[in-house]
Structure 1
Amino acid sequence: MNCFVGVDVGTTNVKALAMPADLSQILAHASAPLTTLNPEPGYAEQDPAEIWAAFVQVIAEVSRELAVNGHTITHVAFCTAMHSVVPMNADGSSIGNAILWSDNRAEAQAKALRTTQAELGKAIYTQTGTPLHPMIPLCKLAWMREHDPRTLRRTARFGSIKEFLWYKLTGEFEIDFSIATATGLFDESKREWSNQAMDFAGVRADQLSAPVPTTYQRSYQTRPETAGTGLLSGVSLVIGASDGCLANLGAGAIKAGTATLTIGTSGAIRQTVRKPLRDAEVRLFCYYLDEGYYVVGGPTNNGGNVLEWVTEKLTQQDTDAVLAEAETIAPGSNGLLFLPYLQGERAPLWDASVRGAYLHVDWQHTRAHFVRSALEGVLFNLLSINELLTDKTGPARVIHANGGFAQSDFWVQMLADMAGIPVRLNASNESGSMGAILLTLKATGVVKTLDEAAERVAFGKTFQPDLTRFKQYQTDFKRWEAALRKL
């Protein structure tokens, strides 16, 4: 049986999923962990060699499993995290570590585009659809120009993690429109690099990759340095899109009125629209998925990392025990509020220096209250982003939930109760890999549109809101928003 493989390169793992073109079953699956390095406060990096090794490992595992069962890989498509920067030599080898989306070293450069150079910042946002924050390569490169000019001069090419992997496999420096729109350097309407943005960043167009559509394909040819993947010459490589955009597609959230809420290490809430949108206050992103499909929304730095903090630092219990403890407390945590800004924030504040807080702490509050309030704070923050989104797209009638948090029925039910609308899970929680496979269906002509591709998504459980809890949470949300305004 011929099959498609979707590869999802995230912050914590590289994963691969293999399915036939009819998506009738998962034929193989593999995962390998990644290590994030924090050499200085506010820094977040990964070793490109480790990322490549993890990619080779998962592709090789999937290839072996498929071969044993008589299946053949015909296409491999890529879903990768956004906003990374890898400095590379002309031969595609890395000069240093990959700087990740969560790296905040470029805070001053982002602030300048919001204050002293606000006119330029607004013009760049209008061109690119990327909010101005230390996460974006535009600001990371500007930081490098000011603080590490030697690396800037030595670097022949600046690319993302996807571009690093793509060059390893193809020998070409190419970037899909989706990842490009997340750099802050790409003029989306012209489909070319922005001169204004490049001037601010201190880079030239010949140091950046050639932009191509998300359905773009190249034929893989085996070379000694890539033989460990197990891929055969002639396999079609589909360049794919960003993780946020493909999470929407993989969740089947393509039509109006359908939102996707993802909580992994970080989180986001998004909707798919048919034409680019811009927010006058530069608070929402708008990224390219495919021709006539754009994903608009807002990301948060603080998602599953808050649960990790609660388990490792606050309670020193395992995750299941922490969630069970939170479930013993009534909605609203007896008035305790949590602002979940443990690692700065993107939407809705776009302030890398902000930090979290518990508010209205009372003698009656126990550790379990603090745990539940932390989980509620993460969702309140995402729903505050959703309010900004609703002003642009109209209200959502259903939320498709994915990411690590979707493995907790308790936390997903909390979301349904807070939002007051149904929350639906996919049959598979691997929405990024699934989205890459669905995009492959479009690239190969199996389907004509992404709407048609999304109709093939299988769903699991749907969580209906408890209206009594919804009313309680509406009151709590107003209190939480008032606290946020004071912040």
Structure 2
Amino acid sequence: MAEYILAHDLGTSGNKATLFSVSGEMAGSSISAYETHYFNEKWAEQNPKDWWNAVCISTKQLIDQLNISPSDIKVVSFSGQMMGCLCVDENGVPLRDSIIWADQRAQKQVKDLEKHISQEEFYKIVGHRNTASYGIQKLMWLRDNEPDVYAKTYKTLNAKDYIVFKLTGSFYTDYSDGNSMGCFDLEKLEWSERILDISGIDHNKLPELKPSTFVAGGVTEEAAKATGLAAGTAIVIGAGDGVTASIGAGSVSEGKTYCSLGTSAWITTTSKKPIFDPEMRTVTWAHAIPGLYAPNGTMQYAGGAFNWMKETICVSEKNEAKNTGGSIYEYINKQIEETPAGSNGLLFLPYLLGERAPRWDSVSKGSYIGITSETTRGDMLRSVLEGVTYNLAIILDILKSHISIEEMTVIGGGAKSEVWRQIMADAFNVKMNVPSLLDEAGSMGAAIIGGVGIGLYENFDIVDQFITISDSQQSNKQNYQIYDQAKKQFDEFYFALRRVFEQQLKGVD
């Protein structure tokens, strides 16, 4: 009789339920979508009831599609969107919609914290900057603007924590989601009394912290009826999506590194200690593996910049693909492949939505630099990929200054492009490995956490049984020399133009 692990990945657009066999093969998946409500320019909320409905629907669909017995599922575990703020009463009933990671309303609360704790001190405690993205600032906003909700709040939860409650009746969070609250002591792995005291938030309104592998309990009879799971099935709390992806991408020991190349992109490695960058350009997450950390740098718009290029510059390629029945990506990639490394001196700053790491700059814009009468269409296309890669390379250089990194796994939609993977291998000067499953790292990581949690696996080395590397690319040393010089120019141009972008903003104001 086959045995399975069920992983739920609660993302921004929906929940994906994925079933893995205990031996590591993906058996199937089911997706159930839900809405995000964007309003007031910087506000973003979701209804937690939609999360629960999506979990129930996707679980039932998956069990029915694969025609398995619910009792064959030995454990359920989670990956989930981080940096949220869902207030519930003592019965676990939501008091309002959840303020999600994308919400930026808590700007005043950031400044309130800054009056009593510097960015540098905050960063040294949490491993992150004090920004409106994190949970504690959002909870402060609710206290200041919706005092009735705050007064009734028993616990503040992230998405996966709410689903764990719905399944077991218990309130917990793991260290990674605790870290995303912005009031977590990264080295002590506990709530920071200093930050909580400064914030004025009641410590008791935060859930109990546990390791990601902690078994929160078994599925209740009520939850079993709603989901189709067997009552008593073990529930492991899992981790935030950025951290589960680390597990699913094989970043389970010191120096193991991966890049996720989607609309946004990030590079994450694994270390035995937090990496505190003197300029605070990178962040560090609590890893799902006890005793380890996940230093990270996330850029705002990577595949997003490519998509902008595809939709605006590549109109003729789009029409040609439509007329021939071919792929627009084939036409784009052909031109990029025929263009030499360095795009004949053309540089592209990929800051179409400002930038997070390594700039932390909401002002800067996207820019082409170095256009001449000889600049070709291929130069313009290739320079977009190179510009994104240079920005990621600066993040990688910061991590490399603390830890040895010789190879990297790349996942996400951008990893489908062989020419982009080669640009990355050349600019990063590392071997790039491509897994056969590019979009399952979060689910796979959650499944492995669940398996370790209930003792199906001795440790996280089992990830090698889940991941199959389908391709790899070595760095071209000659291209590396070209890119190393271009990356320095890229950095210099950014700082030269930043004042211009600031003046543009003042002109608009």
TM-score normalized by the length of structure 2: 0.86
Equivalent residue for 2:249, pick from 251, 266, 271:
251
Give the equivalent residue in structure 2 for 1:472. Answer: 482
Q: Is the 8 A contact 1:145 1:202 kept in 2?
A: no
Give the equivalent residue in structure 2 for 1:179. Answer: 177
Cα deviation code 1:89-126 (max 9, x no counterpart): 33323333333323333345446666x5553x433332
Residues 364, 40 of structure 1: CA spacing in aligned structure 2 closer, same or farther, 3 A cutoff?
Answer: farther
1:13 CA displacement:
3.8
Residues 17, 35 of structure 1: CA spacing in aligned structure 2 closer, same or farther, 3 A cutoff?
Answer: same
2: distance between equivalents of 1:84 and 1:117? Answer: 24
**3-state SS in 1 of match to 2:39:** coil
Equivalent residue for 2:423, pick from 414, 417, 440:
414
1:55 CA displacement:
2.2
1: distance between equivalents of 2:8 and 2:228? Answer: 14
Q: Percent identity?
A: 29
Give the equivalent residue in structure 1 for 2:4. Answer: 3
1: distance between equivalents of 2:146 and 2:312? Answer: 34
| Structure 1 residue ranges without an equivalent (≥5) | none
**3-state SS in 2 of match to 1:257:** coil
Give the equivalent residue in structure 2 for 1:376. Answer: 386
Give the equivalent residue in structure 2 for 1:64. Answer: 64
Give the equivalent residue in structure 1 for 2:258. Answer: 260
Cα deviation code 1:328-348 (max 9, x no counterpart): 032333333222223332211
1:5 CA displacement:
1.5
Superposition map of 1:206-285 within 5 A = 206-224=204-222, 227-285=225-283
Q: Is the 8 A contact 1:66 1:72 kept in 2?
A: no
1: distance between equivalents of 2:249 and 2:203? Answer: 35
Query: Which one is further off, 257-266 or 29-38?
Result: 29-38
**3-state SS in 2 of match to 1:11:** coil
1:291 maps to amino acid: P
Residues 225, 315 of structure 1: CA spacing in aligned structure 2 closer, same or farther, 3 A cutoff?
Answer: farther
Q: Is the 8 A contact 2:248 2:442 kept in 1?
A: yes
Superposition map of 1:36-115 within 5 A = 36-68=36-68, 72-107=72-107, 109-110=109-110
1:447 maps to amino acid: Y
The question of 1:450 aligning with 2:450 is answered no
| Structure 2 residue ranges without an equivalent (≥5) | 322-326, 499-509
Query: Which one is further off, 367-376 or 189-198?
Result: 367-376
Residues 194, 459 of structure 1: CA spacing in aligned structure 2 closer, same or farther, 3 A cutoff?
Answer: same
1: distance between equivalents of 2:42 and 2:436? Answer: 37
Residues 172, 222 of structure 1: CA spacing in aligned structure 2 closer, same or farther, 3 A cutoff?
Answer: closer
**3-state SS in 1 of match to 2:250:** coil
Give the equivalent residue in structure 2 for 1:332. Answer: 342
Superposition map of 1:356-367 within 5 A = 356-365=366-375
1:384 CA displacement:
1.0
Query: Which one is further off, 221-230 or 164-173?
Result: 221-230
Residues 409, 393 of structure 1: CA spacing in aligned structure 2 closer, same or farther, 3 A cutoff?
Answer: same
RMSD: 2.8
1:208 CA displacement:
1.3
2: distance between equivalents of 1:407 and 1:35? Answer: 28
Q: Is the 8 A contact 1:167 1:173 kept in 2?
A: yes
1:427 maps to amino acid: S
Give the equivalent residue in structure 1 for 2:353. Answer: 343
1: distance between equivalents of 2:183 and 2:328? Answer: 45
**3-state SS in 2 of match to 1:290:** coil
The question of 1:424 aligning with 2:433 is answered yes
1:417 maps to amino acid: D
**3-state SS in 2 of match to 1:465:** coil
Cα deviation code 1:115-146 (max 9, x no counterpart): x5553x43333222223332211333334445
1:250 CA displacement:
1.2
Q: Is the 8 A contact 2:75 2:454 kept in 1?
A: no
1: distance between equivalents of 2:207 and 2:330? Answer: 44
Q: Is the 8 A contact 1:80 1:241 kept in 2?
A: yes
1:371 CA displacement:
3.8
Cα deviation code 1:71-91 (max 9, x no counterpart): 811111111122122233333
Q: Of the two, which has the highest radius of gyration? A: 2
